Amino acid sequence: MRTRPHNPLVARLVHAALLLLLTAWSAPLPAQDSPSLREAVECHPRAGLPNVRAKIEAGQLVKVAYLGGSITAAPGWRVQSRDWLAREYPAAKFTEINAAIGGTGSDLGVFRLHNDVLRHQPDLLFVEFAVNDGGASPEQIHKAMEGIVRQTWRADPKTDICFVYTLSEPMLPELRSGRMPRSASAMEELADKYRIPSIHFGVKVVELEKSGELVFKAPKPENLAEAKPIVFSTDGVHPHVETGHKLYTEAIARSWPAIWQASGLPMAHELPEPLRADNWEEARQVAITPEMLQGSWKKLTAADPLYKRFQGNMPEMYLAEGPGAALEFTFEGTTAAIFDLVGPDGGRLKIQLDDQPPTFQNRIDGYCTYHRLSKLGVAYERPAGRHRVLIELTPETLDKRAILFDQNREFFDQHLEKYTPHTWTPGSLLIIGQIVANPPTSK
């Protein structure tokens, strides 16, 4: 797990495995008290997928959205399940909305839900965050996942939702004892309340492991598809497409008849009183406007490689080109963050919230041999009210070689030009509340 390849493409996959438990909010560590762990059942059909069933039976177009992390981003169960549906129901047509970002959990998914999923008007939404939410408290999981459910059904109450639970090596002890890990158990509370079907992909995996037919983590064999026992993964997180992801897809196929049977007449899903009054239903992704920017900035266009790569998640992107470039905004609410990039060219930021002492964050870390989407925490569940944020790129020159992990320093030495700039690339604001007009700047 600690050995990183220097190939940036491979590095992205390895990095996601190491980021699964990270969060970017400036928040205290979650409490570790766990709710009752649920029995490890592969499928709970609950109210099924009534609107999806009706569209399939009518031979209509069904738009399937996949909201999740790196396990869903891989060309595995997401692609395989879509192809399985197309084979199972040839009279209908299925299209995919890929809304997966590696190394991210429901606490980011709830903010990007509208841009990445809901504006495309999905008929079915698979939500996969059990692994990436593995380090979050049940309270935090409830807030974000309930926000996802309530935002979805407020946008279109006929969108059907299905929770799916993946697994990683640290989750194996609970599953071996017949219990769902903490994150899936917390999500099951919401699935019960909103009558959302759920599928636990790990139940069969552990069953095969117990019988000696599967090894969860091992070097990749030369003939992976034919190897016995089955090798699920090499890193303990990301399944091989040919084996682990295939088992995930087979879990959907096994669960589908029960979900189909539970699916009654098409209906508009009702929103009951929330499980948590402080859920993140009001989480939103807000565009940065030129009025918020001070100093030297460049708005990226289709001619910029970074924009081409990330425009699906960041419709607008700005580049802070020099020290003193600042982003200032005022919001009425409780929580704020920035959806941005970290990478080799990242600089150091000074963050001022209201009249609190400033904090500092680098937009480069030990993994940065490439750019990736990230979340810069600014204000986490502050008292409801008006808050002012000023974020400034400092003139400080970082020792980037020292910041990188040992195994990435050879890449630094070979690509000094990538690390010479000290910049910042934000894409949007992540707000629980509303943006209000800035008063005259005090800067």
The arithmetic mean of pLDDT across residues 72-92, rounded, is 98
pLDDT at 173 over 80: yes
What pLDDT is recorded for position 88?
Answer: 98
Please report the pLDDT score of residue 103 as a whole number: 85
Residue 152, pLDDT > 70, answer yes
Task: Report residue 442's pLDDT band, with 50, 70 and 90 as the boundaries.
Answer: very low
State mean pLDDT over 4-33: 39
CA distance 291 to 440: 11
- Per-residue DSSP letter, 392: E
Q: Which residue has the tokens 């809901």?
A: 118
- Asked whether residue 356 is domain-assigned, the answer is yes
Q: Which residues contact 349 (CB under 8 A, 6 or more apart)?
A: 360, 361, 362, 363, 376, 391, 392, 393, 394, 424
Note the pLDDT tens digit of each residue in 186-237: 999 999 999 999 999 999 999 999 999 999 999 999 999 999 999 999 999 9
The strand pair at 326-342 and 372-379 is best described as antiparallel
Is there a domain that residue 415 lies in? yes
pLDDT at 24 over 90: no
| Residues whose CB falls within 8 Å of the CB of residue 329, separated by 6 or more in sequence, listed in order | 292, 336, 388, 389, 429, 435, 438
Half-sphere exposure of 376 (CA within 13 A, CB side): 31
Give pLDDT tens digits for 254-280.
Answer: 999 999 999 999 999 999 999 999 999
Q: Is residue 3 part of a domain?
A: no
In a domain, 426, yes or no: yes
**Judgement on whether residues 312 and 385 belong to the same structural domain of the protein:** yes
Q: What pTM did the predictor assign?
A: 0.87
Are 356 and 243 members of one domain? no
Domain with 351 in it: 283-436
pLDDT tens by residue, 90-142: 999 999 999 999 889 999 999 999 999 999 999 999 999 999 999 999 999 99
Task: Check whether residue 223 and residue 318 sit in a common domain.
Answer: no
Please report, for the domain that includes residue 287, its CATH number. Answer: 2.60.120.260
At 47-61, the pLDDT tens digits run 999 999 999 999 999
What's the CA gap between 265 and 10, in Å, rounded? 46
- How far is residue 275's CA from residue 186's CA, in Å, rounded to a whole number? 12
Look at the chain and report how many structural domains it folds into: 2
How confident is residue 313, by pLDDT bands cut at 50, 70 and 90?
confident
Q: Say if residue 79 is in the same domain as residue 208.
A: yes
Cβ neighbours for 46, distance < 8 A, ≥ 6 positions apart: 191, 192, 195, 196, 197, 198, 262
Percent of the chain with pLDDT over 90: 88
State how far the Cα of 270 lies from the Cα of 194, in Å rounded to an integer: 8
Residue 443 lies in a domain: no
pLDDT score at 187: 98
In a domain, 275, yes or no: no
Q: Is the pLDDT of residue 5 over 90?
A: no
If asked whether residues 239 and 301 sit together in one domain, one would say no
Averaged pLDDT, 234-254 = 97
Question: What is the band of 35 on the pLDDT scale with cuts at 50, 70, 90?
Answer: low
Q: Which of 196, 229, 262 is the last residue of a domain?
A: 262
Q: What is the predicted pLDDT for the residue at 18?
A: 42
User: What does the DSSP 8-state code read for residue 348?
Assistant: E
Determine the 3-state secondary structure of 98 from DSSP: strand
- How high is the pLDDT of residue 316? 92
Asked if 235 and 346 sit in the same domain, the reply is no
Q: Is the pLDDT of residue 12 over 50?
A: no
Mean pLDDT over the full length of the chain:
91
Euclidean distance between CA atoms 180 and 73, whole angstroms: 23
Interatomic CA distance for residues 164 and 142, integer angstroms: 15
Give yes or no: residues 327 and 257 share one domain: no
405-439 tens-digit pLDDT: 999 999 999 999 999 999 999 999 999 999 997 65
In a shared domain, residues 241 and 298: no
